[in-house]
Structure 1
């Protein structure tokens, strides 16, 4: 069913029907739980993706291999009663990116091992991204070289699934987006991918797959990553303008097996998400926007806790996160600019949401768990929900939502996901 669903996206677009899928790009347990809870009552699959830097055969920055990540997601699915048959696991930007400081040959050997690990763990949606220059190479790389490397990695995946007796996966190619992790600074004047450039990418990959005897595999390429003109920086969001992507969108009429995959769709208004899907950008990736909602809800609970039983400031969650980020600055210091006050605001409240890298740290997870334990399963007074989580107040006041601390966090993430579900016609 899953693969069939991914192929149905292009069929639907060709027939003028609105059908998309949300790609949840996060390794945070609460984000994954919210996604599975939100998708539980529908019929569409839930797509959860891991990136090459987060999860790889060496453990990535989460410490998880693809098999670990698969187990982690299945354990959450079991806990919330989500049917694992409706789960699609994807791998994002899979290629030499984590090893680009090495010579190309070594970087590609590492990429091959990573793709093999993803394939063996049952990931069904594979985004091949070999666009990055490795040690000693000129940037940007020649398009034919990029396509050749992508085909080489596809061959590894095919061999692995054949040997393991697993169902064949589906592929996404191309990479007209910032590096994994997102843009920094203020984003201005985005160049939408030209139709000519997109057609060239498709043709180069078609030839590369053909030259490796992978023509039947190319039939399972379901998506192309392009830049539709959406992005976010630390302080601003560039909203989709359909008229700028008209020519790009039109090329899908001649490529009936493909839809576009849009990265960095975080923080787009609901109408923009709906227009993206209508225009063939049927795979909508979101990650930082979900952990941003998570952080907003956790910080709101921090304020509620202080209102209910005053604590010393240094015991607040905000204070714990600030100490942690100052002690371990490598995830934010190259990305945030300005004076001390500006950087302090960005550390906690930036659209780039680089605070998301700190939630897995022991000090952070202890502080969050301590807060959840202190609240327990008791309902939080409606008036405090109104003050600190006003977007959830109508649901709590009307009895549609439970106001325990944990439920409020899941509901805050769920609200963002509901915008995507609406846009995808789910």
Structure 2
């Protein structure tokens, strides 16, 4: 696949290998009570089909992993994993092989194995949990990443012989001004991003991949997301975040092939070439404070109008921002507004490809809505993209009064796998 819209729907089944015997034993032995489903409880058990075509299929195998420049689906289940102590290099490879075989089937709308949810022995646990039976592929994409802990653990130990393979781009994120990070929503050795147009399909994928990992990796934290807040294709309209504003108007889109090749895909000849770096940030919105703020102040903070999404300097949503230029109502864009500080002109041209989602995790002990934005950004190198942008936002952004960054993680996302290979095979040399 290329970085262009060639990452398009496909109905063609891709040949697949089976899940290993250990992977199937993991399915049988996993305790479902150990899965963290992002705090949504039973709210996700009903299938809520998005307006997009649920029969869409995106092939798992290809030059790049799907789920990056793929048109952003409506639903997300993101999971970060810790590798179980005692897991060997051979165990890790076997896990990636099992995940690859299962992911290929899941993205084609199939159970994780040929035996599936109902085809096995009556006295043994099924291979597949079965809640997605009868549902189409729903545009499911599964995107895998490696955290810093794959290369060395927290004590600096090279547990898999991969320390020398850590890419320079996979840096430890610094502490940013205003961070209020919670360990329960941060870090991870491995990650899986499941995006789909049906929440049940996305959750089913993470649930079964987690069962396959039993004994080798377990969920550290996970997040459910809904109502995408960014578009990765010019064919998609810009959606709104929970503050009611259009989000990600200037997002990189798949059609900008040259920009994607430069700013999203890692270049060079390393094992990560053709892959990307994913930064995940959980951003809680102080909803109650925002809801008591005047419309004029909200627009001043964001730098855009709430209705159309146009910059305060005038025009429509996609009109380029004009600094120090008064709009039709006489207002100018504040230089400490969110739009101004995040603008490429103030960040040496840096741009990100975003796949953000809204989230609501119930309420806190004070009765306030525990909700916000689950921010996902892909880039070739966070040292020249996310990090400098976030440093600037952290110090001066007017929006900081209304948000808190409570979760953070970074992952190296390898290029796509070829049929017959497992995801991330290049990392092992």
TM-score under structure 2 length normalisation: 0.23
TM-score normalized with structure 1 length: 0.23
Larger helix percent? 1
Query: Looking at both structures, which has the greater relative contact order when contacts are Cα pairs under 8 Å and sequence separation is at least 6?
Result: 2
Give the number of the structure whose residues are more often strand, by fraction: 2
